[in-house]
């Protein structure tokens, strides 16, 4: 009897031991399938789309477990293991794919909305997570692998899909620019509460109806002075406001896109301009005409009409644009334009416009303007966008290659302990700083094509062995999206300070 009991106990122990050694992926999948709350629901809506997934529907999807980077708001990277199902798989069952979309809105159960333009997810895909770092989720969470945490929306309740090819809106030449600061002088502002401080605020719906005439249905792109970009659906955009007032000490946040109801993460500080199809709205108070035209993609034309709020209109020839600038009159406060240095001959007024409210391209606008608004569009595209205070400078490939080139052999060890040595060729920071008019001794923020940001100190930038590289081992660095340049830190610093696929440099 004792022998039988011993055998039975041995079998039980063997089974227990075998179970403990079972593959972790199977255990995780079982946990995922049982994790959702019974009332968890995910809606997916859009043109021709009306999908509703219950908790059981989501559990029944084909799940994938993978490890990817999670980049928090401070730019710190953490590798996380997650499980979820592909949004593309769900869409394809309804005859749509991610490649057919221009943007997505991830909507949380609390009403929080985060918009993601197609360029953020077309390469990496979108997943609906049911398990995060080994923990089951009661409610689903969005995930764009290796992208910023702002796209990983908790308690996901809805995904709004905008159908249309990625980049379609970028191909449309802007033919009208409206000047917000002048235009709102004709609107009645509302006093709204901005975190306990009352500020005069202007409805974007009212502004567009007055100066553009119709409210567009497609998404709008907002860009801030620090280089931040956000795509918002028209439905959300026109529920919000812009204020030009701030509590003392917070003036640097202006202009501010906000409302009393949206979360802090949905706001856009330092709003510079909004692009919507062939229309753009400029929110700043001072900029040269070539920089403004280049920034918004103003179409080329033989002449442009500069229109004042009182109806006065003057026609500016294209060859005068390079002399033009927009600025606020110090005494009166209104926005005006001038073209100092251009020979106006006997033309009355010399091209000056007070109370500037709108700029229109005359005739059908052709391709977007290049960096010199008076010259034909250049085939050379932007390599790095540089933001120096309130100024934006485009560094093209031709500009980059015109600067003194250096070549460095650098060895680096990544976070996995892998060591590589390469020969990198490019440009030292001091040359770039001189070209864009920046102080070479300033710290900068470098932004990669996927939105990853890193602060780089002046001593790291100015180390003689640091460089911005366009070539590795004699070949062009393979691009990722718009990014073709790497910041390679000297061997004096760790490999954590390297930034791949640089698209923006921001200097306060």
DSSP 464-505: TT-EEEEEETTEEPPPBTTB-EEEE--TTS-GGG-EEEEEEE
Domain boundaries, the chain: 24-163, 176-361, 382-507
Contact 156, 142 (CB under 8 A): yes
The label of the residue with tokens 């391709």 reads 367
Provide CATH code, domain 24-163: 3.90.420.10
For residue 171, what pLDDT is reported? 52
pTM of the model: 0.55
Contact 444, 507 (CB under 8 A): yes
The span from the first CA to the last CA of the chain, in angstroms, equals 83
Q: For residues 417 and 403, give the distance between their C-alpha atoms in angstroms, rounded to a whole number.
A: 35
Q: For residues 214 and 130, give the distance between their C-alpha atoms in angstroms, rounded to a whole number.
A: 41
Closest CA to 84 of 44, 37, 121, 139: 139
Q: For residues 339 and 324, give the distance between their C-alpha atoms in angstroms, rounded to a whole number.
A: 4
- φ, ψ of residue 474 to 5 degrees: the values are 85, -5
Q: CB pairs under 8 A, 24+ apart, for 117-120?
A: 117/166, 117/219, 117/221, 117/229, 117/231, 118/165, 118/166, 118/167, 119/166, 119/167, 119/481, 120/144, 120/147, 120/151, 120/450, 120/451
Q: How many CB atoms are closer than 10 A to CB 331? A: 6
Q: Percentages helix, strand, coil for the chain, rounded to the nearest 5?
A: 25, 40, 35
For residue 4, what pLDDT is reported? 47
Closest CA to 481 of 505, 506, 504: 504
Q: What is the block-wise mean pLDDT of the chain (508 residues), using blocks of 10 residues?
A: 44 39 36 73 90 94 92 78 95 88 86 79 92 94 89 93 59 86 93 93 95 81 86 86 93 94 82 92 95 92 91 90 90 87 76 92 61 36 83 83 90 79 93 91 90 90 95 81 86 90 90
Asked, colleague to colleague, whether 24-163 and 382-507 share their fold, the answer is yes
Closest CA to 201 of 154, 242, 260, 256: 242
Sign, CA dihedral 160-162-166-172, equals: negative
The reply to whether omega before 255 is within 30° of 0 (cis) is yes
Domain at 382-507: CATH architecture: Alpha-Beta Complex (3.90)
Contact 119, 166 (CB under 8 A): yes
**Alpha carbon separation from 379 to 44, 375, 376, 390 (Å, rounded):** 40, 12, 9, 26
For residue 481, what pLDDT is reported? 62
User: Quick one: tokens of 345?
Assistant: 């001959």
Question: Residue 136 pairs with which residues in a beta bridge?
Answer: 131
Q: For residues 114 and 84, give the distance between their C-alpha atoms in angstroms, rounded to a whole number.
A: 19
Closest CA to 134 of 28, 46, 258: 28
Reported as type and span, the H/E element at residue 9 is helix 2-20
Question: Residue 303 pairs with which residues in a beta bridge?
Answer: 317
User: CA torsion 94→100→105→106, rounded to 10°?
Assistant: 60
For residue 8, what pLDDT is reported? 43
């Amino acid at each position: 009897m004792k022998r039988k009991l011993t055998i039975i106990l041995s079998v039980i122990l063997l089974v227990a031991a075998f179970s403990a050694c079972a593959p972790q992926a199977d255990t995780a999948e079982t946990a995922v399938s049982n994790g959702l709350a019974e009332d968890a629901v995910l809606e997916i809506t859009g043109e021709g789309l009306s999908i509703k997934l219950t908790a059981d529907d989501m559990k029944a999807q084909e799940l994938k477990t993978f490890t990817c980077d999670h980049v928090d708001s401070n730019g710190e990277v953490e590798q996380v293991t997650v499980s979820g199902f592909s949004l593309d798989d769900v869409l394809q069952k309804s005859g749509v794919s991610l490649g057919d979309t221009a943007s997505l809105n991830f909507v949380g159960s609390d009403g929080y909305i985060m918009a993601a333009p197609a360029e953020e997810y077309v390469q990496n895909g979108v997943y609906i997570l049911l398990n995060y770092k080994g923990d089951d989720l009661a409610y689903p969470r969005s995930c764009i692998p290796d992208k910023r945490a702002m796209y990983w929306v908790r308690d996901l309740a809805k995904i709004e899909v905008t159908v249309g090819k990625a980049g379609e809106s970028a191909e449309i030449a802007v033919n009208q620019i409206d000047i917000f600061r002048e235009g709102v002088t004709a609107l009645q502002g509302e006093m709204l509460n901005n975190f306990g401080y009352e500020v005069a605020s202007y409805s974007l719906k009212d502004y567009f109806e007055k100066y553009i005439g119709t409210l567009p249905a497609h998404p709008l792109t907002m860009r801030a002075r620090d280089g931040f970009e956000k795509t918002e659906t028209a439905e959300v955009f026109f529920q919000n406001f812009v204020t030009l007032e701030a509590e003392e000490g917070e003036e640097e946040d202006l202009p501010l896109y906000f409302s009393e109801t949206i979360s802090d993460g949905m706001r856009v500080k330092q709003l510079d301009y909004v692009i919507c199809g062939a229309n753009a709205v400029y929110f700043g108070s001072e900029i040269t005409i070539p920089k403004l035209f280049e920034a918004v993609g103003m179409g080329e034309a033989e002449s442009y009409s500069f229109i004042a709020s009182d109806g006065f209109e003057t026609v500016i020839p294209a060859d005068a644009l390079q002399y033009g600038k927009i600025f606020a009159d110090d005494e009166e406060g209104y926005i005006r334009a001038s073209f100092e240095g251009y020979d106006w001959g006997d033309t009355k007024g010399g091209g000056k416009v007070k109370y500037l409210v709108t700029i229109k391209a005359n005739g059908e606008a052709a391709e977007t303007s290049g960096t010199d608004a008076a010259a034909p569009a250049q085939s050379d595209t932007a390599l790095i966008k540089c933001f120096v205070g309130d100024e934006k400078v485009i560094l093209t490939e031709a500009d980059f290659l015109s600067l003194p080139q250096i070549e460095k052999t650098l060895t680096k060890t990544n976070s996995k302990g892998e060591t590589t040595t390469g020969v990198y060729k490019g440009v030292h920071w001091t040359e770039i700083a001189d070209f864009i008019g920046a102080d070479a001794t300033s710290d900068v923020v470098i932004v990669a094509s996927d939105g990853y940001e890193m602060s780089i100190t002046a001593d790291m930038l100015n180390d003689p062995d640091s460089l911005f590289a366009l070539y590795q081992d004699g070949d062009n660095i393979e691009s990722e999206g718009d990014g073709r340049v790497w910041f390679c830190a000297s061997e004096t610093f760790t490999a954590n300070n390297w930034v791949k696929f640089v698209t923006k440099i921001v200097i306060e």
